[in-house]
Each structure stands twice: as C-alpha cells, then as structure tokens.
A = this chain, B = another copy of it.
Amino acid sequence: MAQHLIKAFEAAPAVNLEQAYARRPEQLSHLLHSEKITDTLTALAEADVYIISVSDDAIAGISSQLPFTNKLVIHTSGSVGLNQLNGKNHRGVFYPLQTFSKNKEIDFHTIPFCLETEREEDYTILETLASALSQSVYNINSAQRQSLHVAAVFVSNFTNHMYTLGSQICDENNIPFDILKPLIQETAKKINTLNPLQAQTGPAVRNDVTTLQRHLDFLQDENKKTIYRLLTQSIQQANEQKL
C-alpha cells in the first residue's frame, strides 16, 4: 500500500510529498530520488501530515518511536483503531478501501477513502489530501471502520471464495471456468443499479425445491453441501425479512 500511495502522491499536483522513511531505502529507490528517502526517524523533515503505512502490528510501535509531538500522524489501516496511534501526536486515519495486489496498478480515482481525525481542523487536511487522489471521500469513525472491514470480508473475501468453489465444480466436470466469467461480472454490475436484496435470483429465493434438492444430490463434497444448505437458508431468511 505504501508504494501505491507514494506513486499516487508524486503524481498529484496538489500534494507535495516531502520525504519517505524506510528501514531499507533501496526498496523505494525505483519510486523516489534518494534525497527524498531517509532511514532515520530522527531525521524526518517537517510536514503537515505524517503517514504510517505499515502492517497492522507495526503501527503502534512506529507511532511511539516518532521523535516529535503535536503533529498530525495518521495510519492507513482498515482494522486498526485511531487510538492505537501514540497519543503524543494528533491522530488520524486515512484508509483507502480496496483490495491491493503488489503487481497491479491502482487507480485511486474511484477508491473510497475513509477518514477519521481527533480534531476537526485535521479532518480538513486529510480531506484535501484524499480529494487530491480520489473523488470518493467518507468520514468514518473507528467503530464504523471496524464494521466496514467485516462487511468487506463478506463482499470481497467470501465472494472470491464462491468463485473458487465454482471453479472447482467446473474443473471436476471438465468445463472451462471462463464460461462463468461474464455471469460473475454481470452479477457484480447489477448492484450498481439494484440493491442486492432486489437483485437476488436463483432457486433459493424462488424456493424451487426440486432444483435445490437436485443440486444437493449433485454435490458430493460435504463442505460444498453444507455451504449450499446454509446459504440457501440465509437467502430465504433475508428474503422473508424483506417482505
């Protein structure tokens, strides 16, 4: 994430990336001039915002080691509370909600930034920063961000696992998984115009008992059978609550 952000800030005219810290400066040498990189926390340059973009476990430690106080210090994590940052500085969160892959270029333009600050005047600074990268900026507190992270597990990690299960069924039956890709894209696109409860189709929501039973008979793998049963039930339950 840090490297994606460095690239994006360097490309944003409204943002002046003063300096980057790295324990091993050579890791950033393909992104920044060497005079812009430091490996010494006590040599950090003056800035309006200090961004800690490291693994979740390392955030608290780094924030304690900072050699200054009363500056704006923020992290970029979806699952770490604002209060895990050391209280000697003004704290904030700057969380781009997206799934990142190291080798894939990121277009921040449409990625939602979830912002939180202790002080109102700091919010304006983060808002300016986020708006320089993206058109989509939200004020999200730590409790909301926690629930957002859980929701993201459902709509992204679990969804991707549904793709895995589908591809396993294809493999076992000598069907190219490619056949399902347009359906997958359309299913995702649909919720841009319908809410997902309205968009629900399939034998579960129709309570098409014959098809449901045929599918359960077809599935040999106990794990897939259990998931099929549980999600069918859950779809029907959500649908009843709707009515």
Stretch at the interface among A14-22, A32-40, A110-118: A110-118
A98-B235 contact in complex given A148-B175, A163-B155, A169-B147, C-beta closer than 8 Å:
no
Q: State the CA gap A201–B98 with chains docked (Å).
A: 11
Contact residues of A between 162 and 197, Cβ < 8 Å to B? 162-170, 172-197
> A101 contacts which of B97, B190, B224 (Cβ < 8 Å)?
B190
- Which chain B residue shows the least CB distance to A167? B196
Contact residues of A between 139 and 162, Cβ < 8 Å to B? 140, 143-144, 146-162
Q: Are A97 and B179 in contact (CB under 8 A)?
A: yes
A152-B183 contact in complex given A147-B173, A161-B231, A218-B146, C-beta closer than 8 Å:
yes
Q: How far is the CB of A238 from chain B (nearest CB, A)?
A: 5
Q: Which of A136, A144, A173 has the most CB of B within 10 A?
A: A173
Q: Are A231 and B200 in contact (CB under 8 A)?
A: no
Q: How many copies does the complex hold?
A: 2
> A164 contacts which of B56, B160, B203, B238 (Cβ < 8 Å)?
B238
Q: How far is the CB of A95 from chain B (nearest CB, A)?
A: 10
Q: How far is the CB of A215 from chain B (nearest CB, A)?
A: 5
Q: Per-residue CB proximity of A185-227 to B under 8 Å, as 1/0?
A: 1111111111111011111110000010011001100011011
* A residues apposed to B, CB below 8 Å: 56, 79, 97-99, 101, 104, 110-112, 114, 136, 138, 140, 143-144, 146-170, 172-197, 199-205, 211, 214-215, 218-219, 223-224, 226-228, 230-231, 234-235, 237-238
With contacts A140-B175, A144-B175, A165-B234 known, what are 4 further pairs, Cβ within 8 A? A138-B176, A146-B214, A147-B175, A150-B218
